[in-house]
Amino acid sequence: MLTTQDTVTLTAPLDPAVLRRAAGPLTVTVDDAARARLDRGRRLFRALRDGDGGGRPIYGSTTGFGALVGYAGRADEADQCDNTLAHLGAGQGPDLPHGIVRAALLVRARSLAQGLSGVSAEVVDRLADMFGTTFSPAVPRYGSVGASGDLIPLAYAAQALRGRGHAYVDGHRMPAAEALTASGLRPLTLDGRDALALVNGTSVTTAALALALDTVHAAHHALTALTCLLADLLGCDPGFLDADLLRAYGHPGAADTGARMRHHLAGTVPSGERPLQEPYSIRCSPQVLGAARDALRYVDTVVAADLAGVSDNPLFLPGAEDTPGRTVHGGNFFGQPAAFAADLLASVTAQLGNLAERQLDLLVDPARNGGLPPMLATEPGAQHGLQGVQLATTALVAEIRRCATPAAMQSLPTNLHNQDIVPFGTQAALRAHDMADLLVLLCGSLALGLRQAVHVGARHPTAPRCAALLDTLTAAIAPVDPDRPLDADVRTAARLLATHARS
């Protein structure tokens, strides 16, 4: 049964938490304010198209598309819709996750509902209806350059809503027409303006970036807590978190993170047996985590702006009381801000992944872990403890690093040089989404190591909050004794940390 938390009004701001909920059934309402804007925008579009605009062409409504803008479009509105969408059916690769696709359509509905795209209210109503079901268009991953919007992926979504192509219901892939029927939905009827407005925005980019950001925020919180638990288990002196020390550093993220870590470590008792200075993966953790915190704040602002803005072309802008409205052609479909932000998020993710992997490496090394057995094995040689997990974390970090190559400046001209510069924000955002999932697994791996460390002789945490986190892990995960496959345990730990971070 849906609850009030599962209800979204299209005049209300969107945030990553709302987009995450869009993966499942969600009540989306088109309130009176949104409907008034939609009706006003639709009337203005028709007036401008039908002559009040002085006969000026309207891109995608009276013209061809992209590089063919200089040619007339099709006179029949249904044909113009087909002309818009059919040629964009050129995507390749595996289908995108349902959560990204449905989040992208929620972002698209919010943009259209602001009334500047000239679409019919019927389009937004039917999108809203879709969210009450498990219907999800089948959208291939590859094909968008992130300029003129996410044309190819959004075209697949629009076609599925028309009953063409394929879609999922309850996770099962089937022809889109069957999926609509199974979901109790009717095929969407579009004209050329509706069709272009559905595809001419960066909603896939924005959705993927927002979801990745939400995951990295959770991983950042989790890694902060795990770093404190590591320091407590090893008996580290918390002097590296001194408030005056971090204030002198001059960066707000480090000061904020230091305060959070001191809160986690309140009550800890140093063992007095650790070196004067800890390895950087502990001693410099407030600087690493703090810099990540500052960078994430910037990504927050980009995502918030994208979720609040209108990504489309052209826009139909209402005039003042005594002046007519205008058709304005421009580039509000250009996903450069999200591309830059996604590249920054990838860099943050890579360094957080480095930190988690280095901390696990320290924990399994008897030369640095305070004399615990190698690989945290209960009987080294006869058992192997965390050896497989540690190998896997090395592979995960290597994959994250490989994916961290910036995408936002790797422009390639296309579309007969109509699109002579593009941001590749879609690739950047989808890659950041993949990397964020790997970071979560790295955090889960470190958590599993911390749980095992206590089993093989590490002291019990002396800080109450660290002890509570360890108790949560030990209640859900058995010690590695004897050896067993640990892939599921890593995922269990990762889920626990995500819940802990978002609580």
Q: What is the pLDDT of residue 421?
A: 84
Q: Which of 59, 71, 142, 249 is catalytic?
A: 59
Bridge-based pairing state of the strands 27-29 and 7-9: parallel
Contact between residue 212 and residue 344 where contact means Cβ atoms under 8 Å apart: no
Q: Shortest CA distance to 144 belongs to which of 447, 466, 427, 376?
A: 427
pTM of the model: 0.95
Contact between residue 177 and residue 228 where contact means Cβ atoms under 8 Å apart: no
Q: Shortest CA distance to 348 belongs to which of 492, 215, 243?
A: 215
Contact between residue 436 and residue 350 where contact means Cβ atoms under 8 Å apart: no
Phi first, then psi, for residue 114 (nearest 5°) are: -80, -5
Phi/psi region, residue 137 (left: phi>0; alpha: psi -120 to 50; beta: rest), is beta
Contact between residue 70 and residue 57 where contact means Cβ atoms under 8 Å apart: no
Helix (H/G/I), strand (E/B), else coil: 219: helix
Q: Which CATH number fits domain 209-312+327-502: 2.60.120.560, 1.20.200.10, 2.60.40.10, 3.10.450.50?
A: 1.20.200.10
Q: What is the pLDDT of residue 4?
A: 45
Is 142 assigned a catalytic role? no
Q: What is the pLDDT of residue 55?
A: 65
Phi/psi region, residue 152 (left: phi>0; alpha: psi -120 to 50; beta: rest), is alpha
> What is the identity of the amino acid at 302?
V
Cα(74)–Cα(453) distance, integer angstroms: 69
Which structure tokens are listed for 398? 């290597």
Q: What is the pLDDT of residue 5?
A: 54
* List of residues 6+ apart from 63 with CB closer than 8 A: 57, 69, 70, 71, 72, 73
Cα(343)–Cα(36) distance, integer angstroms: 38
Buried b vs exposed e over 311-326: b needs ≥16 C-beta within 10 Å?
A: bbbbbbebeeeeeebe
Instruction: Enter the DSSP assignment of 62.
Output: T
Where are the chain's structural domains? Answer: 4-201, 209-312+327-502
| Residue listed under structure tokens 């889109």 | 176
Classify domain 4-201 at the CATH topology level.
Fumarase C; Chain B, domain 1 (1.10.275)
pLDDT in tens, the chain (503 residues): 344 457 899 988 899 999 999 999 999 999 999 999 999 999 999 988 887 545 678 888 888 887 788 888 887 888 888 888 999 999 999 999 999 999 999 999 999 999 999 999 999 999 999 999 999 999 999 999 888 889 999 999 999 999 999 999 999 999 999 999 999 999 999 999 999 999 999 999 999 999 999 999 999 999 999 999 999 999 999 999 999 999 999 999 999 999 999 999 999 999 999 999 999 999 999 999 999 999 999 999 999 999 999 999 999 999 877 777 899 999 999 999 999 999 999 999 999 999 999 999 999 999 999 999 999 999 999 999 999 999 999 999 999 999 999 988 888 888 777 787 888 899 999 999 999 999 999 999 999 999 999 999 999 999 999 999 999 999 999 999 999 999 999 999 999 999 888 77
Phi first, then psi, for residue 220 (nearest 5°) are: -60, -45
Helix (H/G/I), strand (E/B), else coil: 361: helix
Residues in the chain: 503
Bridge-based pairing state of the strands 92-95 and 140-142: antiparallel
Instruction: Enter the DSSP assignment of 326.
Output: E
Cα(53)–Cα(48) distance, integer angstroms: 4
Burial class (CB in 10 A: 0-12, 13-18, 19+), 50: exposed
Which structure tokens are listed for 437? 């999932």
Cα(70)–Cα(327) distance, integer angstroms: 17
Q: What is the pLDDT of residue 3?
A: 45
Which structure tokens are listed for 124? 């937004």
Cα(503)–Cα(500) distance, integer angstroms: 5
Which structure tokens are listed for 280? 């950087």
> What is the identity of the amino acid at 383?
Q
Written in H, E and C, the secondary structure of 143-209 is CCCCCCCCHHHHHHHHHHHCCCCEEEECCEEEEHHHHHHHHCCCCCCCCHHHHHHHHCCCHHHHHHH
